[in-house]
Structure 1
Amino acid sequence: MLALGVVLLGTLLTVVASYATGVSLPDMVGILCGATTNTPALGAAQQTLKQMGINSSTPALGCAVAYPMGVVGVILAVLLIRKVLVRKEDLEIKEKDDANKTYIAAFQVHNPAIFNKSIKDIARMSYPKFVISRLWRDGHVSIPTSDKILKEGDRLLVVTAEKDALALTVLFGEQENTDWNKEDIDWNAIDSELISQRIVVTRPELNGKKLGALRLRNHYGINISRVYRSGVQLLATPGLILQLGDRLTVVGEAAAIQNVEKVLGNAVKSLKEPNLVVIFIGIVLGLALGAIPFSFPGVSTPVKLGLAGGPIIVGILLGTFGPRIHMITYTTRSANLMLRALGLSMYLACLGLDAGAHFFDTVFRPEGLLWIGLGAGLTIIPTVLVGFVAFKMMKIDFGSVSGMLCGSMANPMALNYVNDTIPGDNPSVAYATVYPLCMFLRVIIAQVLLMFLLN
């Protein structure tokens, strides 16, 4: 909702500024696209103007003029919020309370309600999700299966979310004070028989399968405590859908782990091979979707997602549902970044060719300075206002607020700055959460503005 507020506030300011300053609406839409670093929206707006028989070159000029400030403006907004509102202890507290990190705790079984019950039955009656990594009983350490019966006095090493630790204390009976989350813990030294190893999912047939369907714990006597995906830790619950490239932390005996390694693949070299087929399928489907006209009541010209909006939507859908239909969507991060940088560079180069003829003439005259000022306002005002509401009034941590602001403005350059200066994964998670919706909305809004207000 907050990211939606950034989008709608920027749209409202665009309309108000157009009427207040006399800048034509097509030019203001171009300035808005540059201020929000949203080139797909500009492409959609230009296609709409061509359909309406209006010159579509001036929005590109407005975008080119406002784009540099669009990149810097979000960073300035984040710096302003941090300088005025954020205290040093706020960052430290949020670093400790990062809700996206898994949490390891030790419990002793003293709750009579779970005596002589299996872990499987206890998991069914418990709301918080957890994974029992190790069980101590009579001085012996073991990896419990889901059918293991718990007895009074058992000591359990549990992986869960930190916010659920209190609820699990009530469930099991007592939480020990040992801190199992330190970086320097030697897990293999806790017991002599069990080792911990990280294994990568590389077998294509496992893509889209649920972790519980593999029955690794029952077949091999091992335990999967955590799953790492794109740098984010996930709790290894039975319902977790595996994707190619997932890194699983496996605990068990050496021989059992070798067998699990064969099941999962762990052939890291194979991940370096690009899946070009899926990429081109996504592009073709995206272009087809972008060409489909959508009619709205009261609007004579149909709305199209365009050459940029269509592939974005298809990419989101493939990323979300691809693994569930066993479509391999994994791409190495380096290849992903290269494709994005190449596409953006080519688009910006074409934008420069389109706007370059009149760029300096526009910038170095009062009209150009006005456009730069309007672009700066469209970038900074919505982000600062919504950032203030999110951090000060709604008490959302600064990392999530910063990532949300970067995502709502489609600004990966600002996100890089935020990730370098704010600890934890919250900025990246918030960015990924709001980016698809905001990108889609801006593509649609750019066209709807022109259709409603120019007709």
Structure 2
Amino acid sequence: MGMMNFLHSLSEVALASAALALAGALGLLLGGVNWRGIGLGIGGVLFAGLFAGHFAASAGLHLSTEMLEFVREFGLIIFVFTIGIQVGPGFFATLQKAGLQFNLIAASIVLLGVATTVALHFIAGIPVPALVGLMSGAVTNTPGLGAATQVLKDAGVAPEIISEASLGYAVAYPFGIIGILLTMIAVRTVLRIRVEAEEAAYESARAKGAAELPAINVLVHNDNLEGLTLGEVPDLYDQGVVVSRLKRGEVLMHPSRKMVLHLGDVLHLVGPAEKLHAMVLILGEEVDHSITTTKGSQLTWQRIAVTTKKALGKRLREFGLEERGVSISRCTRAGTQLPVEPALSLQFGDILTVVGAPTDIDAVKPLFGDQTKSLELVQFAGVFFGILIGIGLGSIPIAVPGLPAPLKLGLAGGPLVAAIILSRIGFFGPFVFFMPPVANHALRELGIVLFLAAVGLKAGGRFFETLVDGEGLAWMFYGMFITLIPLMIVGFAARLIWKVNYLSLSGVLAGSMTDPPALAFASNMSNSSAAAVGYASVYPLVMCLRILAPQIIVLGLMV
């Protein structure tokens, strides 16, 4: 009784703050409980929030509605913005080559899920607010729930009706986690797939197309090249191929475009595999890779980080590196190695591999900054400016043929799209859009915990009533259809028709649900990186589609 009197004596803001902290603490502990890598994960915060909200409603405690509303929406903004910063640099690359097939598979799962959801609305008469919550829960996509609640609010739906989205999400979420695992097991069992064979096939295919830029040594014996300068050799330097070392006799030297080439010279080339093959045909023949080792020579190489704002946006040709006696053989950006060309524009956080004499390398470091501590700092000015751009972008009405009202990216889609674009650009004026991975993860976790805790607290008062006396059990059953139908159809089709490697397919299936526990399950099948690569390839596109889908359903069925 004393505790209840104490709680009733607190202000609504204090009660809401305490409830958010309680839901966050207990929810993270609950999400950390797992069986063989399977658990609620971050979804545990939602369920803790539902319990805390139910307790508060039963005890007659009033939480500040305005505060919960702000925390929910600002938490969502932080979450989707940090996702965009994370996936942005590699977003457009995933829509090319092998990633294109993976993204088509994942997009098919999303679109089939939307079709299944809409069909259930007309067959079972599920209210649209509950429907979009069910869809997001059935595919374990929390930003989708955020987009759903935001568009319902923008459409003028009453708060108590909007809470049906959170309730639908909560009842469908548990089977959403289980359903993806059942699909992986079903595809493997029915089609009698041997994981060991799939792993061997994946590693064999990966060996043919190296993820990193390869390097080779080429012995020059094309008579037509005798006496030409390196800059006069066709396709050298300007096709993404770099000469980082030249060995003449026993002397290893740093090459420049003006250096005259002689028969018997050995060139160390770095660049895309297909370009290197073409250079071998032009120059001569490939020889032992160890011939041009820098060990014991005057040449060396170092990795230099681009951290000074003076270097941002400048092209490599503007630094005059040849005159300074050094060359750049590789540029690593957000974990991806880029072909080095004179027109390559630098971004904050790029890691350059610089080849030359130690004194020359030291002399060029100030040009790029190389202050590695700067890579550990969060550029908060860029974060807040990016969020401002995202909110503005999300508020722009987009006319879509067939929809009765304009579509808006909203507070879920606007910051996401803005972050993807800004992280791709790298900087704008004084603002740098770079975030260390550790800081990104911390802010992302904070944002989603605040969002889920606020959602749970607002919906908690009706959760048990809906589950026991209302439509909760029926919604749970319908959520199973939304989970399984798209996964099963596309999963079997991808394997039988397109012959996709099973381990890669498992990663794509997990990515189509943006479900980390499913990725962990898929990754534990083998020692290869196939599942992780598949997951990462489709994650950016799927996240955008999952955020837009609830908005299209609401506008199409309610407005």
TM over 0.5: yes
1:46-85 Cα offsets, whole Å, 9 max, x none, are 3333425462221111112223443454455456556754
Task: Rate the CA distance shift 1:437–1:244 in 2: closer, same or farther, 3 A.
Answer: same
SS at match of 1:23: coil
Q: Give RMSD over aligned pairs.
A: 3.3
AA partner of residue 203 (structure 1): T
Q: Which residue of 2 aligns with 1:150?
A: 261
AA partner of residue 160 (structure 1): G
Q: Which residue of 2 aligns with 1:192?
A: 297
AA partner of residue 440 (structure 1): C
| Distance of 1:392 and 1:214 partners within structure 2 | 52
Aligned partners of 2:230 and 2:236 also within 8 Å: no
Where structure 1 has 5 or more consecutive residues not aligned to the other structure, the ranges are none
Q: Which residue of 1 aligns with 2:131?
A: 28
SS at match of 1:282: helix
Where structure 2 has 5 or more consecutive residues not aligned to the other structure, the ranges are 1-103
Task: Rate the CA distance shift 1:6–1:253 in 2: closer, same or farther, 3 A.
Answer: same
| Distance of 1:120 and 1:74 partners within structure 2 | 55
Task: Rate the CA distance shift 1:401–1:419 in 2: closer, same or farther, 3 A.
Answer: same
* Alpha-carbon distance, 1:201 to partner: 1.5
| Distance of 1:278 and 1:366 partners within structure 2 | 47
The one of 525, 530, 548 aligned to 1:444: 548
Q: Which residue of 2 aligns with 1:57?
A: 163
Task: Rate the CA distance shift 1:141–1:127 in 2: closer, same or farther, 3 A.
Answer: closer
1:432-451 Cα offsets, whole Å, 9 max, x none, are 55444333333333122222
| Distance of 2:151 and 2:248 partners within structure 1 | 70
AA partner of residue 278 (structure 1): G
Q: Tell which deviates more after alignment, 68-77 or 23-32.
A: 68-77
The one of 244, 269, 277 aligned to 2:381: 277
* Alpha-carbon distance, 1:258 to partner: 0.9
Task: Rate the CA distance shift 1:279–1:213 in 2: closer, same or farther, 3 A.
Answer: same
* Alpha-carbon distance, 1:207 to partner: 2.0
Q: Which residue of 1 aligns with 2:314?
A: 209
SS at match of 1:102: coil
Corresponding position: 1:168 with 2:279: yes
* Alpha-carbon distance, 1:156 to partner: 1.5
Tell me the percent identity: 37
Question: Size of the alignment, in residue pairs?
Answer: 448
Aligned partners of 1:91 and 1:422 also within 8 Å: no
| Distance of 2:557 and 2:437 partners within structure 1 | 42
Aligned partners of 1:27 and 1:59 also within 8 Å: yes
SS at match of 2:140: coil
Task: Rate the CA distance shift 1:416–1:285 in 2: closer, same or farther, 3 A.
Answer: farther
Corresponding position: 1:308 with 2:419: no
Alignment of 1:294-443 (within 5 A): 294-323=398-427, 327-363=431-467, 367-390=471-494, 393-395=497-499, 401-412=505-516, 414-415=518-519, 431=535, 434-443=538-547
Task: Rate the CA distance shift 1:210–1:65 in 2: closer, same or farther, 3 A.
Answer: farther
* Alpha-carbon distance, 1:336 to partner: 0.6
SS at match of 1:224: strand
* Alpha-carbon distance, 1:42 to partner: 2.5
SS at match of 2:271: strand
TM-score with structure 1 length normalisation?
Answer: 0.85
Q: Tell which deviates more after alignment, 228-237 or 404-413.
A: 404-413
The one of 343, 348, 361 aligned to 1:257: 361
The one of 60, 67, 77 aligned to 2:173: 67
1:140-160 Cα offsets, whole Å, 9 max, x none, are 211211333333222122112
The one of 225, 244, 251 aligned to 2:348: 244
SS at match of 1:56: helix
Aligned partners of 2:238 and 2:341 also within 8 Å: no
1:374-408 Cα offsets, whole Å, 9 max, x none, are 43443444345444544554455566545544444
Q: Which residue of 1 aligns with 2:117?
A: 14
| Distance of 1:417 and 1:298 partners within structure 2 | 40
Q: Tell which deviates more after alignment, 321-330 or 311-320.
A: 321-330
The one of 241, 248, 252 aligned to 1:130: 241
AA partner of residue 292 (structure 1): I
* Alpha-carbon distance, 1:430 to partner: 5.4
